[in-house]
Structure 1
Amino acid sequence: MARILSETDIGILKTLAPECEGLLCSGSGVPYRSILPPLANHYSKDAADFLRRIKMLSMYELEYLIRLILSGEESLGCVPFDYMTLFVENVSERMGKEVAAQVKKTYENSECPA
């Protein structure tokens, strides 16, 4: 489900990717509609850098992001598998295995919108 990023979304993205200057995908030229895909595909150097950035999320920010994921508002389909695996492991450590399993299932059922 595509959405327009809220001020909260933009704040989280800028916290995780302070080098983010604009909110347009460099590949497609369309505005970002989620937080994790641009973080993974445009700002993180590799999976380890993605995890380092994800660990910067406060508990409030992580809970907010999980709510968006579970409601279908946060797109996961374009996030590479190895990045998402690390994200799910981090969610498991911080929020428990049940929440992590829900996130994993949501990822497995998602597709990258072309």
Structure 2
Amino acid sequence: MARTLSDRDIEIMKKLAPECADTTCSGSGLYFQSILPPVSNHFSLDDEDFEDRLKRLDIFDLRYLSEVILDGSESLGCIQPEHAEILFRLFRERVSEDVGAKVREHYEEAGGCHH
């Protein structure tokens, strides 16, 4: 689902990728429509870096991310599978087992990259 990033989304994006000068994808020239795929694919150097970036978020940011993932407005379809596993684990550890399981289920049902 295409969306325009809200001020809250951009605030979270800046926490995850402070080097992000704007919300435009350098590859396509289009505005980012989600937070996590660009962090996974454009800014994170490796799995450890992706995890370190996610750990910058507080519980309120993580809950917000889980809500927009589960309502379908935040896409997980294009994040690297290893990064998805890190995300599920952090949701289980820092939000709740239930949220981690629901986000995993949502990811598996979406199955693939959707632009």
TM-score normalized by the length of structure 2:
0.95
Contiguous gaps of at least 5 residues in structure 1: none
Q: CA deviation at 1:47?
A: 1.0
The 2-side partners of 1:65 and 1:82 are apart by 18
- Please show how residues 1-114 of structure 1 align to structure 2 within 5 Å: 1-110=1-110, 111-114=112-115
Instruction: Output the amino acid matched with 2:30.
Output: V
Residue correspondences, number: 114
Q: CA deviation at 1:88?
A: 0.4
Contiguous gaps of at least 5 residues in structure 2: none
The 1-side partners of 2:101 and 2:17 are apart by 26
Instruction: Output the amino acid matched with 2:95.
Output: M
Q: Which runs of 4+ in 1 moved over 3 A?
A: none
Q: CA deviation at 1:40?
A: 0.4
The 2-side partners of 1:107 and 1:25 are apart by 22
The 1-side partners of 2:2 and 2:68 are apart by 11
TM-score normalized by the length of structure 1:
0.96
Aligned CA RMSD, in angstroms, stands at 0.9
1:50-88 CA-to-partner distances (Å, cap 9, x unmatched) read 000001101111101100000000000000100010110
The 1-side partners of 2:37 and 2:102 are apart by 18
Instruction: Look up the SS of the partner of 2:88 in the other structure.
Output: helix
The 2-side partners of 1:99 and 1:6 are apart by 22
Between the aligned residues of both structures, percent identity stands at 46
1:66-113 CA-to-partner distances (Å, cap 9, x unmatched) read 000000000000001000101100110011211101000111122312
